[in-house]
Structure 1
């Protein structure tokens, strides 16, 4: 049980004894430590409901609450309850964490399955800078959910079907460089795709040829199906190289094509159940009529008022759309994987699409906790969408290469004595980590400016700062003449810097579950920065190796726990920690 949970439990008991019934008594971490560690506005809320004096009610609650051995309480302002945890309680809590592999984090997801849909690039196209957000946010949420006890299934729903394959098939047959498709498959497929695009502009008959190739693929033509399979395979190989560098893995790569056979039956079922109907030759999902217009994703407000905004699931020519495939995907995940939650880590522009899909799924009877984990855009220094000078999307592999090169240069300048192989490995860890943290330290819904200098700085809110903090801690233990057995340590907290460091160490178990509440890894990132700053303040104020026993062992234990929380927290963000920098 965390301090927050313990306080809530004790406060609830006190409130029940005062008002004669149980009531919600939320306790939150204090934003200003001058007023205590935790606070609650329970007395103010209850006083308003009961039309009584809030300070008087707060005093009655304090008189009844049993905080023995845990905290002191006081009233502030019109009736806030402020709690200050006792140093002895912090010491006891930290001691319990010394032998806890999970650092006090509860299994809040035990017994529940969550499917995380993220990254999802298109086959035959390189991943660009826009894929950073989906890939890195999705991977981090998956790691955190697993640590919280969820059964996590990750799925890379790649775009491996659609009209672009007609162009790729034509290009494969007529323009392919067989050597290039082996050495750099995605770059070669992109070249072919672009060249076919240029040919179409010069000669419209090429477009007809591309359409014919697509029709043959859809009809099951043996040669085109074979090329299509090869195209997917070489694309996956190219994508996997990037995922390997990012240390990102997937349980499944079930692309759009996996669901092709399910689409006709799905549409017919929607029509039969009156969820969809034919309109102007196309099969569409319209509003159910059960929601107000302003809340209904199938209604839109225009100059003349509210009007229909249907989702097409089969075009008049018989073709299917993303909505159809996404519904089939959703059905598979709920029926086959028995998902309790499905998180779609996809950009803000797809918000309406997912609102419609989730609404349609519920009407279909596919009940689940569906969440669109939306995110904003990455901007260049000019605060516009990040592009190359030619106007193309910046490729993700180029971003990673640049980050590692800059990290290598910084390492060579600061520590030229590190052997080349080790320096290269550290540069990879620091560079990739910097890119990830720059993403994960942002509120996912906001746009942010991509700045090389800021993300690779050893000071400030960066991954290198956190990695260096951990390296600094581990260097303390390398100076020891004999190994330190943390399991035998006894925690003694006397200095304010020690108490504050302990306060933040035990708060890890409270912060981590909140990340999942609104899918915000930046809460963990910000917590780790706060912990690192607390450690540096502690290290400056409290001698460790030169302290006398039992203070020396206690401070070594605090250092070890800080390192464990930092490395665990960074690991949950998908960021590795080097031994030295």
Structure 2
């Protein structure tokens, strides 16, 4: 919520105010993306505009009241859009959880001063830089970490260092994970090394960049709209829900409208989330609605349906899952295979936490769903004549349901009792 992009917005706002007046401009600000796109075009086309935008960034960073008030207006519009997305996705973040780049603005001068006091700063072409022996270019020359530009402005590196110090000092974090595009790997290697070199972060604190790949279109290139613009997440969610609605209505025409919409929301939004989380985060992948909404393969609809299938066993028996008692009697191979995989749940969760790889959990849940399908096919549950075996299989089914539900909820999916 800080930096050059806000300089562009402020400069463009000045231009538009002069031309259109306050009332017309307030309506235009309602679509911040369109406003930003126009500002970016002016920035790219006009050197005079670009210089003005950069000067406004410096004024903003210096605490100019005029710039700060306008920035706050832009920021509020942006955050309200973000919160609407969080709410729709079931993400529990609230405005109180957000500490944007601007929160560190007052710390930036001190960061530079502290680097200087430790003898780490060098001047290069008017800019304040840090050179570390561990980072060199192809010619063997040290790569700079620029913390203050010649015009007095600060950079992402300065803010990142301030954030690292805040998280280590104020929040007392002993582990920090940065989930950012893997193309930023060098930047974070430099930040982590410098933060510890400067004493901003204790040596024993774990700092890790969890890089991720790109979501691509059918042509294998970064996903874009037909006119080459950025695809909005809100548009993807809308389309996913509508596609899921049509699919569910076709399969279950007897359901009422409220039930159809509830299922479509769970399936559609879950499909988008799961399509991303089920891939190795460092790999690029192709965005494909047909594939992610399929009821076959490692998809959200498949897992959601697998859970409802287990739930239907207890509904048919008029039993509460928690009420099943008795010992496990695992005589059949299908029972043993399912049970063996279920007991690995905690191990899988620990691996996900250690490696920052949620696709390990999705792969596990897909395995469990497949093993339950085999168990269901080969081991009669309710029709078993032996009460001990019947109760054992009900317990195994209940454990499967609990594991699938917990696992899906950890991935942000909303399990349904009926589909």
TM-score by length of 1: 0.67
Residue matched to 2:347: 510
Residue matched to 1:101: none
Task: Give structure 1 stretches of 5+ with no counterpart.
Answer: 1-159, 290-295
Distance 1:208 1:512 in 2: 50
State the SS of the aligned residue for 1:309: strand
Is the alpha carbon distance of 1:178 and 1:543 closer, same or farther for their aligned partners in structure 2, counting shifts above 3 Å? farther
Distance 1:357 1:485 in 2: 50
Alignment size in residue pairs: 409
Asked if 1:273 corresponds to 2:140, the answer is no
Distance 1:273 1:490 in 2: 66
State which structure, 1 or 2, has the greater radius of gyration over its C-alpha atoms. Answer: 1
- Asked if 1 retains the 8 angstrom alpha-carbon contact of 2:324 and 2:391, the reply is no
1:534-573 to structure 2, matched below 5 A, reads 534-548=371-385, 549-573=387-411
Asked if 1:327 corresponds to 2:161, the answer is yes
Structure number with higher helix proportion: 2
Is the alpha carbon distance of 1:279 and 1:470 closer, same or farther for their aligned partners in structure 2, counting shifts above 3 Å? same
Residue matched to 1:342: 176
- Asked if 2 retains the 8 angstrom alpha-carbon contact of 1:375 and 1:444, the reply is yes
For each residue in 1:12-69, what CA deviation from the matched residue of structure 2 results, as whole angstroms up to 9, or x when unmatched?
xxxxxxxxxxxxxxxxxxxxxxxxxxxxxxxxxxxxxxxxxxxxxxxxxxxxxxxxxx
Is the alpha carbon distance of 1:421 and 1:233 closer, same or farther for their aligned partners in structure 2, counting shifts above 3 Å? same
Asked if 1:163 corresponds to 2:4, the answer is yes
Aligned CA-pair RMSD? 2.2
Asked if 1:426 corresponds to 2:267, the answer is no
> Structure 1 residue 223: deviation in Å?
3.5
1:5-404 to structure 2, matched below 5 A, reads 160-173=1-14, 174=17, 185=30, 188-199=31-42, 205-207=48-50, 210-211=53-54, 213-214=56-57, 216-250=59-93, 252-287=97-132, 289=133, 296=134, 298-302=135-139, 306-365=140-199, 366-367=201-202, 368-404=205-241
Is the alpha carbon distance of 1:275 and 1:249 closer, same or farther for their aligned partners in structure 2, counting shifts above 3 Å? farther
Is the alpha carbon distance of 1:177 and 1:508 closer, same or farther for their aligned partners in structure 2, counting shifts above 3 Å? farther
For each residue in 1:429-460, what CA deviation from the matched residue of structure 2 results, as whole angstroms up to 9, or x when unmatched?
11111111111111111111111111110011
Is the alpha carbon distance of 1:263 and 1:407 closer, same or farther for their aligned partners in structure 2, counting shifts above 3 Å? same
State the SS of the aligned residue for 1:301: coil
Distance 2:33 2:172 in 1: 37
Residue matched to 2:291: 454
Residue matched to 2:412: 574
Task: Indicate the structure whose relative CO is greater, using CA pairs within 8 Å and at least 6 residues apart.
Answer: 1
State the SS of the aligned residue for 1:574: coil
Is the alpha carbon distance of 1:509 and 1:197 closer, same or farther for their aligned partners in structure 2, counting shifts above 3 Å? closer
> Structure 1 residue 482: deviation in Å?
5.0
Is the alpha carbon distance of 1:176 and 1:385 closer, same or farther for their aligned partners in structure 2, counting shifts above 3 Å? farther
Distance 1:409 1:415 in 2: 10
> Structure 1 residue 300: deviation in Å?
1.9
- Asked if 1 retains the 8 angstrom alpha-carbon contact of 2:308 and 2:416, the reply is yes
- Asked if 1 retains the 8 angstrom alpha-carbon contact of 2:325 and 2:395, the reply is no
**Most deviating of 193-202 and 315-324:** 193-202
State the SS of the aligned residue for 2:344: helix
